[in-house]
Amino acid sequence: MTYELEFFDEFIQNEHKTHQSSSPHSTIPNFSEKKKLIEDEVERIKKSLRNFLFNTENENQIENVIQHHQQHIISLADQVLKCIDEAEASSLTQISDGQTKLNLCKIMYKSMEELLTFIETYFSKYFNQDEKIPLAYAIMAEKEILEKLEPLQIEAKDKKVDERLLEVALYPIKIFANHQSKNGITFRRLIYLKQLVKDLDPLVKKETSENYTDDVFGLMFYLNFNTFYFLTFATNKISKEVKELSTLVDQVERLSFWVKLLNQNQVKPGFALKHDRPSIQEQLSTWLSEELHFIEKKKQLTFMMPPSGPLGKAERFKVNTILSVPQLAYSIRLLKEAGIITNQNQTELIRFFSQYFSTPRNKHLSSESLRIKYYNNDRSSIRFVQGILDKLMEHSKKEKY
């Protein structure tokens, strides 16, 4: 396929030479004819690109041609902008009826934007999202984002969104809006920022929510906000929850809950703030795995180490009973369900009894065996324990007051 932008190369160069010293509001001769030429050429290029796509089977050739034209269209759009006052750049799509130099530039720019949109829509597979956007496009996008940014901040603060999370979420948006030079902004980055603003706006404006901070956190996770700052916020949030739990077992359970939550929540496919980094899901998953491994090791070492001080002797002491493992398990369950034992963590409760109680046949009880019997009682064990309770009742009645 031949280079399709020669007309626009020559047209822009000739118009610039001819009207370089003219004011933006000066009248352009043959304005209507020039406008018609531009519009016809845009349609011709679209048709030529469509035919090329349908008649070419070589994927690499299609990609090279499309990206070559994309790059030159952006360059032409930037050349047009040089003829326009920056104050007018944010209103490039607003074309008046006057046959002026400014309006011809706006028509020219709009044609370049139309071609870019056409390529992005019909050749999305080959469109280079890492190509920089036209400068005028960046200026218009900045205006659009700034109009939404301040109301968004006010609404988020009113809804008590965590200040640090809000700061992290809006940081890349503010950097784009306040950056003096827009030359380095790519299509990929702008698409992400516009999507972020678009999704945040209704999220913080909705009337009711159980927790607006969690809503914003969930959106950032879905949009793969894979920056170091968001990862740090997420890990600090989880660490705080874990540290508030008093036992290692509870901490493991909480981290396991986060692993489950992480696996159930999806990240938007092909979407990322930092496309050259692992997704936030991958980064958090790695961190959670390391935390779980550390606490599991810590738990194992805790069980292996003998208690220090006076409890060192107690570690060798066991309460000997006449009860079998099923009978002991059922006794523990009765005491728990009757409210005599008030410990909430059943796993630790069973582990305690396995460490400090013994049966005639088992001096060292398995906590796993005791746990299984705790939830599965046989009739003979129930009858035996009921018999002991009857004996205790009779014995109690003999006591003299």
Q: Which of 165, 280, 274, 275 is nearest to 222 (CA)?
A: 280
Contacts 24+ apart (CB under 8 A), 117-125: 118/46, 118/49, 119/49, 119/66, 119/69, 119/70, 119/73, 120/187, 122/49, 122/50, 122/53, 123/49, 123/53, 123/62, 123/66
> How does residue 179 score in pLDDT terms, banded at 50, 70 and 90?
low
For residues 33 and 74, give the distance between their C-alpha atoms in angstroms, rounded to a whole number.
Answer: 24
pLDDT at 368 over 80: no
Is the separation of the CB atoms in 109 and 81 below 8 Å?
yes
Per-residue confidence (pLDDT) for residue 136, from 0 to 100:
78
- Answer with the residue of higher pLDDT: 89 or 372: 372
Residue type, 399: E
> How does residue 312 score in pLDDT terms, banded at 50, 70 and 90?
very low
**What percentage of residues in the chain have a pLDDT greater than 70?**
91
pLDDT at 228 over 90: yes
| Predicted TM-score of the model (pTM) | 0.65
> How does residue 100 score in pLDDT terms, banded at 50, 70 and 90?
confident
333-362: average pLDDT: 88
pLDDT at 315 over 60: no
Q: Which of 76, 100, 87 is nearest to 11 (CA)?
A: 76
Half-sphere exposure of 76 (CA within 13 A, CB side): 29
pLDDT at 400 over 50: yes
Tokens describing residue 359: 């049966």
pLDDT in tens, 240-299: 988 887 677 788 888 999 999 888 888 898 899 998 899 999 999 999 999 988 888 877
> How does residue 182 score in pLDDT terms, banded at 50, 70 and 90?
low
For residues 35 and 104, give the distance between their C-alpha atoms in angstroms, rounded to a whole number.
Answer: 7
For residues 170 and 157, give the distance between their C-alpha atoms in angstroms, rounded to a whole number.
Answer: 13
For residues 166 and 171, give the distance between their C-alpha atoms in angstroms, rounded to a whole number.
Answer: 8
Is the separation of the CB atoms in 362 and 325 below 8 Å?
yes
3-29: average pLDDT: 87
Per-residue confidence (pLDDT) for residue 314, from 0 to 100:
46
368-380: average pLDDT: 82
199-220: average pLDDT: 91
Per-residue confidence (pLDDT) for residue 311, from 0 to 100:
47
pLDDT in tens, 73-97: 999 988 888 776 655 655 666 677 7
The count of other CB atoms within 10 Å of the CB of residue 122 is 15
Per-residue confidence (pLDDT) for residue 230, from 0 to 100:
95
Handedness of CA 106, 108, 114, 120 (dihedral sign): negative
Which span out of 82-91, 244-253, 327-336, 359-368 was modeled with the highest average pLDDT?
327-336
Is the separation of the CB atoms in 226 and 272 below 8 Å?
yes
- Answer with the residue of higher pLDDT: 303 or 387: 387
**What percentage of residues in the chain have a pLDDT greater than 90?**
36
- Quickly tell me which residue has 């700034």 as its tokens: 146
Least confident interval from 38-52, 170-184, 325-339, 378-392: 170-184
Least confident interval from 239-248, 296-305, 318-327: 296-305
pLDDT at 160 over 50: yes
b/e code 286-313 from CB counts within 10 Å (16+ = b): ebbeebbeebeeeeeeeeeeeeeeeeee
